[in-house]
Every structure is written in structure tokens, then in C-alpha cells.
Amino acid sequence: MSADLEDLYREIILDHYRSPRNRGQLESPPAYRTEGFNPLCGDEVIIYVTVNEDDGKITDIAIDGQGCSISQSSASMMSAAVKGRTIADARELTTRFKTMMSIHETDIGGDGSEAEIEADASDADGIELGDLEALRGVVKFPVRIKCATLSWNTLGQALDEAADSPVE
């Protein structure tokens, strides 16, 4: 990764850390509330989501909790990325993000895998990682990967609850 790109990514991460998107709480119920902890780093993420039962879209999301810059900026980016999307699209985005993290985790050292991921990302059906690409550099520090994926795992639990809940 070029130094310029690393600077840009660092700026994006710091921007989300200092000015987190969708910060706050939602009344629960009707919002689904889930908590995630990363004991390795002491990160805590609490997620509130409301879902429109008719079209399965995430109508609102709020993030609470505290932790390191990676965990909190990832949660902020995640909230901005999934708000207004369907549960299915949010899960697709989760898969893409985790793939970006896990492929690097196993292929550190690089053998062209990064180019493959870039190609994948551009194929997305209107689902792009956007700012989330800035967290790509985290994979160079495997101990921090759990910081980056914490909010996504916590979101997954909330979406499971939303999908399982009976329609009233």
C-alpha cells in the first residue's frame, strides 16, 4: 500500500472516530438491541436497529459503547453503510467486509490476493465497501482484526433477532 493511501485511510478512520455517525440510542423495543465485547482490547459496542417489517429495510440504527479507534470507527462506518439497506444487503456487506479481513489474515505477505479482492469489490451489485476500505490496513495487525469485526458480529446478532421476530 502506498504511503499516500495509508495517510488517506488513517484520515478516514480518525474522522469516524472523532465524529462517529449515528451515535446514540434508540428506544428498545421497538428497536433490537445487542451488545458485543472484545475482551482482547476492552472494546464494547452496543447496537440498536429498527427494521421495517414490510420491506425488510433497516430504517434506523444507533451505536453506543466505547473502545479503541479501530472498533469505534468501524462501528461508525458500519452504521452509515447499512442504514436504509435491506437485511439481506447488510448481510452481504458483512460478508464482504469479513472477507476483506479474513483473506488478508491468512495471506499476509501478499501473493496477488489484494488485487483479487479489489476486483471482487468492483463487481458488487451496488454494494460497495466505500469508507470501510480504509480498515484494510488493519489486517497487518492481526490482534486488531477483532476490533474491526466486533460491530459487524454484533449487527449480525441484531439482524438475526429481527429476522426471527414474528410479524405483528
Binding residues for Zn ion (CB under 5 A): 41, 43, 68, 71, 147
E-only strand ranges, 21-140: 32-38, 43-51, 58-66
CA distance 49 to 92: 17
CA distance 139 to 141: 5
CA distance 151 to 160: 14
CB of 52 to Zn ion, least distance (A): 32
CA distance 20 to 78: 11
Whats the size of the chain, residue-wise?
A: 168
The C-alpha cell that represents 65 in the structure block? 459503547
| 68 vs 127 by CB, closer to Zn ion | 68
- The runs of H, that is alpha helices, within the chain are 3-18, 69-82, 87-106, 113-123, 145-164
CB of 61 to Zn ion, least distance (A): 20
The C-alpha cell that represents 50 in the structure block? 429498527
| 51 vs 101 by CB, closer to Zn ion | 101
CB of 146 to Zn ion, least distance (A): 7
| 63 vs 147 by CB, closer to Zn ion | 147
The residue among 85, 63, 61, 74 whose CA lies nearest residue 133 is 74
CB of 159 to Zn ion, least distance (A): 22
| 147 vs 158 by CB, closer to Zn ion | 147
CB of 67 to Zn ion, least distance (A): 5
| 41 vs 103 by CB, closer to Zn ion | 41
